[in-house]
Structure 1
């Protein structure tokens, strides 16, 4: 005893320590007493006196030596701000004692019976501050600044403690809610068992039987059984269990191995096309060539057709006629404004509201794996941050790739090679890669004679049906039809002609008090009936409202 010693912390524990392993700040003290223990260890009581800076630190034979310079601390212990800081720290420590589980009475005893240095040391120890923070406080040369640093750290600990407490309470509530739901579900199952209504077990067993009976490929069956086992491990009323049940229902609703079996008859196909579409002989001949190849090969070998033409020339209806001629299901997918790749590939089943893409949804609705799917307005797709749907179509329309099409929701391969895809477009405003996948068939506009024949064979009957007329009571000459085409329409298709014919019948119905008596629609009568309709359109275009 009677010697001096400097206590210095290490940056991180290591043995033996090197000079660079220790801080350059420490505390010097007097060795008051050394107690030798029977096991050879020693207990040393040290009375510290000053904080010191260390320079020229060296080590020799395991003993460290250094030049020490005392750190002089300003005598501001009695300043009002210093006392206020000390009291605020004590107040915060009182609040923190409930979280950190230390005795606040000990801190009050330090404040009343010991100098401010003992209070600071006690707070550092109770709060468990890091050595770096303690060294910062030890290095500071005024009690006011020491307490400011200490208060910042205590406030940080309190804020962290509040966040941790909030998280712990939330977790506890969720655990209690989960336990409560689990207990109620067990009770519900027990009650259902007693009443002989084990519906959940029955549903699970029925799902397993459906999987076993379904004509699934081996990899799809394995995936279905894996998800079924996962579903059984969840509580029936849980979100995960419901999601997996929906997934299995969707997977089993797909037309695995289901096809529309019908013989292709070229004469029937020609008759369907001629009966539903007038003119377009070159286009119909190319379609019949495609159908002839399908009949010969028994599959969809050949190009994917893309009908390009002005609005109203019959692109979509022509595709529907092909489905009728082949005896297959028909489904139309409108692509106008589509800008999300998930429109075709679907969403991952982990997302809320996830579902299959439009292609797989079409197959499910058709209940066959070989329908005719029309991709309408393929030139009007867009793209944005959600992906490029046109790129997704490249796989779907490529016969070499679509045999293993994978929907993101189903997560299994599906063979799309039996599907007959037909695209329609108003222009060739699409990528070269997409155009390369298809055979472009341009459908020209109708001639005047073809429009007259179409009106005679189709449009008048359709307008009569839309307005409630008896078609036998409508008498209109070819010259009158040519007059409507010349003076009231300006299009390559026949949609505007259809609207004008409907307007004529609608106006006549109004004038005759809803009686559809036998009427001859001459050129003069047509002009009279369409004059109101035409003037209303012109007023709307110019921007003036009609006046009484």
Structure 2
């Protein structure tokens, strides 16, 4: 604090408050000195400066927080001459003496006074934040020392400099110190002004550019014909288009769209559409093929490692791959793997991709009804996007991936078009080198893509089916399922369940029981679920009971797997009148059908129940016509057809059934019901019937034979025309079945009906008008056929 200044002091230190109060009580002045370090709470005499300012106490105010506000008036400079009990007393006390000011040269003092006022005037003009107030009132002060003290108290100097000015004995020296400070501050202010001017110019330039840009955008919004996109951004986009390996058509289209974008407002919806379009063009692989693997031995080992069995399927796949490697082309064929669920069709497609080194892209076509899913939407629609083919190419990031088209037989159609029609161009090698997606509007080369389709049946549009090579993937035999479970399913489920080593095992006998009694299917999907369930139960038992390992055996399978879902009782294989076991092919694999016939009093009507399709109903009519034609040969009274109704029923009425291969079974059921001769329960049959009594070939022989084997039926009647298909049947299946070829209905009846005299049958059916005859069912026709 300098003399001549009036200032408030806020005091909180108890010793300082006590000292202040003591001085006020005695009406004395206080010496205000500055601590050298403000961090000390109880300073010694050496911790304060020796020179300070004597000040009178104008007012003391007690504040609520215990501190004191004192208004003091600086009077004169003084210094500590002698201290007594500065530290030990409860007060800060010391002896002080007034400090005299020495004037070395009065003329120099006057000159310094004038220079100081001149500098001060410049300082005040430059530094607008000073606290000097009215400069004219300061210049009117005659006492130079008093003027200097007032100026010094208001300048923003450092504590050390102020203390130096306060301690200086010579007035000349004090004036020089203040004058030097003002000179330095004025020079610094000039430098700051120059720097600020430069920065200000830059800011004004940037602000000007910003304002101009905003004005241009405003004009663009009004006129709508100027480019609102950054020029640098458009230049980068043009560089990307020129650097990309686009086809000539695609490059021309992209540059044309970019030209439109230059003259569009960036806020318009059309500009967003064009930008998205260019992003799609640049993100597609136009000339980025993957190096393919041509090692057939490696491909063969990958197929064997990832799939057990399916030898014929693997052989055909390797044939196609061999031709591809030789010609370095996909040769215009598209593989289509057809078979029941769970036999590994999709995983086979992925294995082909692994074997050939192609990127694998899969998408399901099941339930798709919109043609735009394949060809894409035109850009006129909001939210338009390319079709799934182009999306798959972007995902693959290569021009020669493998596309797995799942569920080809489940494509739908409605008013939006037929997706299968759009696939014709995709799968046709004579067209897909220039595939046109509605969104891209330029040709895209799909000729290097390998397409592999999967389906549960060949219920595929004929035009689409014509473009594909069908590979039948049949169901697995019981032995194959056991091996698949041991090599693939059990290790996989153990790993997923956190089981290691021998903590979880399933014996071969238990596996066969699971296959027979818990999951009768063509594939292994339900088998995998059952094994997963057993693994989870094993983990639970190990945690709850502290068991170290769980082994599933024949004796404890019911404990872990529960009640068997399928149980073949001996009664199902009993001989029954009017009940024949037929064999059927379904999308889920092979299955058996129990065809029941019943003769009732009536008027010659034929009733068909069991949700039979048109073809199966026609088989019923054909079988009935043949039985009527041969009635006398089979000891059936022809009048029974006028007096009785025949009811044909196929159980599981909620399941739709269709197809001609149940014709022979229906005929046998009718003859059995009309003659009373039981049909053998240990025999199953399949075959289409003609009006001449011929048995015609059928499809799905392997699945039907596997179904018979699953249900414990050892004798199977098949059309003679299907004998050639036995080459595709595994030897272990043929060795376990007694396969009997049949040519005519007489062969069917001879092998399926119980051997007994038809006299009994005639007596058994007298209630419905049968006439007893003693002609055996083994007619000369059947003998000749044999």
TM-score tier by shorter-chain length is 0.5 to 0.7
Give me the whole-angstrom Cα distance separating, in 2, the residues matched to 1:265 and 1:188.
65
1:401 aligns with 2:419: no
Q: CA 1:516/1:201 → structure 2, altered by over 3 Å: closer, same or farther?
A: farther
1:517 paired residue number: 548
Tell me which of 221, 224, 232 is aligned to 2:262: 232
Give the conservation status (yes or no) of the 8 Å contact 1:333–1:375.
yes
1:374 CA displacement: 0.5
Tell me which of 434, 459, 465 is aligned to 2:489: 459
Give me the whole-angstrom Cα distance separating, in 2, the residues matched to 1:185 and 1:226.
28
Give me the whole-angstrom Cα distance separating, in 2, the residues matched to 1:359 and 1:472.
46
Give me the whole-angstrom Cα distance separating, in 1, the residues matched to 2:427 and 2:276.
29
1:351 paired residue number: 381
Give me the whole-angstrom Cα distance separating, in 2, the residues matched to 1:234 and 1:409.
20
1:302 CA displacement: 4.4
2:514 paired residue number: 484
Cα shift readout 1:296-315 (whole Å, capped 9, x = no counterpart): 00111142110000000000
Give the conservation status (yes or no) of the 8 Å contact 1:293–1:302.
no
Give the conservation status (yes or no) of the 8 Å contact 2:332–2:429.
no
Give me the whole-angstrom Cα distance separating, in 1, the residues matched to 2:248 and 2:217.
38
1:264 aligns with 2:264: no
Give the conservation status (yes or no) of the 8 Å contact 2:342–2:522.
yes
1:261 CA displacement: 1.1
2:127 paired residue number: none
1:527 aligns with 2:558: yes
Q: CA 1:302/1:406 → structure 2, altered by over 3 Å: closer, same or farther?
A: closer
1:486 CA displacement: 1.0
Give me the whole-angstrom Cα distance separating, in 1, the residues matched to 2:534 and 2:505.
12
Give me the whole-angstrom Cα distance separating, in 2, the residues matched to 1:218 and 1:224.
10
Q: CA 1:519/1:188 → structure 2, altered by over 3 Å: closer, same or farther?
A: farther
**Alignment TM-score, normalising by the size of structure 2:** 0.43
Q: Residue 490 of structure 1: SS of its match in structure 2?
A: coil
Cα shift readout 1:91-125 (whole Å, capped 9, x = no counterpart): xxxxxxxxxxxxxxxxxxxxxxxxxxxxxxxxxxx
1:201 CA displacement: 2.2
1:250 aligns with 2:280: yes
Give me the whole-angstrom Cα distance separating, in 2, the residues matched to 1:185 and 1:253.
35
Give the conservation status (yes or no) of the 8 Å contact 1:509–1:516.
no
Query: Counterparts of 1:5-84 in structure 2 under 5 Å?
Result: none
2:271 paired residue number: 241
1:271 CA displacement: 0.5
1:447 aligns with 2:488: no
Q: Residue 524 of structure 1: SS of its match in structure 2?
A: coil
2:246 paired residue number: 216
1:364 aligns with 2:394: yes
Task: Tell me which moved more, 299-308 or 359-368.
Answer: 299-308
**Alignment TM-score, normalising by the size of structure 1:** 0.61
Q: Residue 336 of structure 1: SS of its match in structure 2?
A: coil
1:188 CA displacement: 8.6
1:187 CA displacement: 5.1
Give me the whole-angstrom Cα distance separating, in 2, the residues matched to 1:324 and 1:265.
12
2:329 paired residue number: 299
Query: Counterparts of 1:90-109 in structure 2 under 5 Å?
Result: none
Task: Tell me which moved more, 273-282 or 526-535.
Answer: 526-535
2:499 paired residue number: 469
Q: Residue 458 of structure 1: SS of its match in structure 2?
A: helix
Q: Residue 469 of structure 2: SS of its match in structure 1?
A: strand
1:186 CA displacement: 3.0
Q: Which has the larger radius of gyration?
A: 2
1:244 CA displacement: 0.5
Give me the whole-angstrom Cα distance separating, in 1, the residues matched to 2:231 and 2:289.
33
Cα shift readout 1:283-342 (whole Å, capped 9, x = no counterpart): 000000000001000111142110000000000000000000000100111001001100
Give me the whole-angstrom Cα distance separating, in 2, the residues matched to 1:534 and 1:383.
37
Give me the whole-angstrom Cα distance separating, in 2, the residues matched to 1:394 and 1:530.
47
Give me the whole-angstrom Cα distance separating, in 1, the residues matched to 2:327 and 2:549.
53
Give the conservation status (yes or no) of the 8 Å contact 2:541–2:547.
no
Gaps of 5+ in 1: 1-181, 191-197, 536-548
Give me the whole-angstrom Cα distance separating, in 1, the residues matched to 2:561 and 2:258.
65
1:471 CA displacement: 4.5
Give the conservation status (yes or no) of the 8 Å contact 1:308–1:427.
yes
RCO comparison, higher one (Cα < 8 Å, 6+): 1
Q: Aligned-pair RMSD on alpha carbons?
A: 2.2
Cα shift readout 1:182-236 (whole Å, capped 9, x = no counterpart): 995735999xxxxxxx982222111100000001121111100000011111112
Q: CA 1:451/1:406 → structure 2, altered by over 3 Å: closer, same or farther?
A: same
Cα shift readout 1:451-474 (whole Å, capped 9, x = no counterpart): 011001100012113322224422
2:181 paired residue number: none
Give the conservation status (yes or no) of the 8 Å contact 2:401–2:450.
yes
Give me the whole-angstrom Cα distance separating, in 2, the residues matched to 1:187 and 1:402.
45
Q: Residue 523 of structure 1: SS of its match in structure 2?
A: coil
Cα shift readout 1:418-469 (whole Å, capped 9, x = no counterpart): 0000000001111211111001111110011110110011000121133222
Give me the whole-angstrom Cα distance separating, in 1, the residues matched to 2:528 and 2:217.
66
Give the conservation status (yes or no) of the 8 Å contact 1:503–1:533.
no
Q: CA 1:219/1:187 → structure 2, altered by over 3 Å: closer, same or farther?
A: closer
Give me the whole-angstrom Cα distance separating, in 2, the residues matched to 1:263 and 1:326.
5
Identify, as 1 or 2, the structure richer in helix: 1
1:280 aligns with 2:310: yes
Gaps of 5+ in 2: 1-211, 221-227, 567-786
